[in-house]
Amino acid sequence: MAELTYRDAVTRGIAQEMERDTRVVFLGEDVAKAGGVFKTTVGLYERFGPLRVRDTPISEQAILGAAMGAAMTGLRPIAEIMFADFLAVCFDYVANQMSKLRYMSNGQLSCPLVIRTGNGGGVRFGAQHSQSIENWTMMIPGIKVVAPSSPVDVIGLMAAAVRDPDPVIFHEHKALYATKGEVPDGAIVDTIGTAKILRPGRDCTIIALALMVPRALKAAEALANEHGIDAEVVDLRSLVPLDTQTILNSVAKTGRLFTVEENPRLCGWGAEIASIVADEAFWDLDGPIVRITTPHIPLPAADHLEDLALPSAARIADKVQRVLNG
């Protein structure tokens, strides 16, 4: 057992899989000799060599296209798109190509690859380098969507993503890179499509993802200490496949549901969960489902404004207690 940063967990997760399987190759902008702009891939170039860890030009279409062509013909590529916002310039590959390949070819072709990307805000980068775009990727049939919140989950879900036979979008959260967590020694392999109950509780269910997970946990502590509310916190960990059973079971127990989403409000993942719960667990609910989200705005760069935009632990706690006590 050792304490590791989220950032170093990314490196360790990739290294673990590259060590295991020579078909795993890695490409992206500044990822090899420079070790990545977020320093998430330091040492991989030196360890696995220039044939397996490759710097690319600033050509996001070429990066995802090449990863796809390599995956279709036998490799297991990991491609980095530096900022998740940049997926917009190569979204064809996500929306039209890799996600539809297996279906359109009637199963003749498959695309086992991982797209790693720096998602989310809270780091004062402004509107084009801060978005939480996991909901863009969630709505496309044929891909899987993962967003870990802790170092141990980064490693285990990275391993699962690399070994997965389908394309996986792996959302790393930029504001979590410096956070630390305990990580066991040895290889770690997790399962995509499994949510985790991080804090059991009786009074309400708070579902969160990525950066919103530590904030939801902090809010739950405040709710317990200051309001006597015992909140259950669920870390979704992946949006596709969605662990609906864990959500429904939790709602059956608590009777109240809150989602905490970093994405702007419209069509955020919480809306889909609210819809599922309303359809399938309506009679378990003791009150309305409440979504706590970033407002439907671009993100500002100014720190005090960005802090107002993203759901904070204080805002989560305040909203939950007002709804439950109101």
Partner 1 sequence: MASAAGATTGSDRLRNDDIGLDRRLELFRLQVEIRDCEKRAFDLFLQNMIKGTSHLSIGQEAVAAGFGVAMREGDKSFCTYRGHAHTLARGASMEGMLGELMLRDIGLMRGKGGSMHLTSVEHGVFGSYAIVGAHLPIACGSAWRAQYLGDKDVAVCFFGDGTTNIGAFHEALNFAAVWKLPVIFVCENNLYMEYTPISDVTAVKHPAADRAAAYGLERIVIDGNDADVVYRTALDALQKAREGGGPSLIECLTYRHSGHSRGDPAKYRPPGELEEWLKRDPILIYRQRLQEFDVEQETIDSIETESKRKVEAATEACKASPPAPVELLTKDVYADGGWAWRN
Interface size with partner 1, residues (CB under 8 A): 52
Q: How far is the CB of 221 from partner 1 (least distance, A)?
A: 30
Q: Which of 10, 31, 53, 71 binds partner 1 (CB under 8 A)?
A: 71
Q: How far is the CB of 79 from partner 1 (least distance, A)?
A: 10
Q: Give the Cα separation of 121 and 173 in Å (integer).
A: 8
Residues 17-36 that bind partner 1 (CB under 8 A): 25
Query: Of 60-68, 120-128, 283-291, 292-300, which part binds partner 1 (CB under 8 A)?
Result: 60-68
Q: Give the Cα separation of 156 and 13 in Å (integer).
A: 7
Q: Does 61 bind partner 1 (CB under 8 A)?
A: yes
Calculate Rg over the CA atoms of the chain: 19
Q: Which of 4, 28, 53, 102 binds partner 1 (CB under 8 A)?
A: 102
Q: Does 65 bind partner 1 (CB under 8 A)?
A: yes
Q: Give the Cα separation of 249 and 177 in Å (integer).
A: 31
Assign 39 to helix, strand or coil: coil
Prior bond to 77 cis, omega within 30? no
List of residues 6+ apart from 326 with CB closer than 8 A: none
Record the tokens describing residue 206, joined without a space.
């708070």
Record the tokens describing residue 156, joined without a space.
């285990």
> Which is closer to partner 1, CB of 97 or CB of 250?
97
Which active-site residues does the annotation give? 129
Give the residues lining the site for partner 1 (CB under 8 A).
Answer: 25, 51-52, 54, 56-57, 59, 61-75, 77, 92-93, 96-97, 101-110, 112, 141-142, 144, 164-166, 193, 240-245, 276
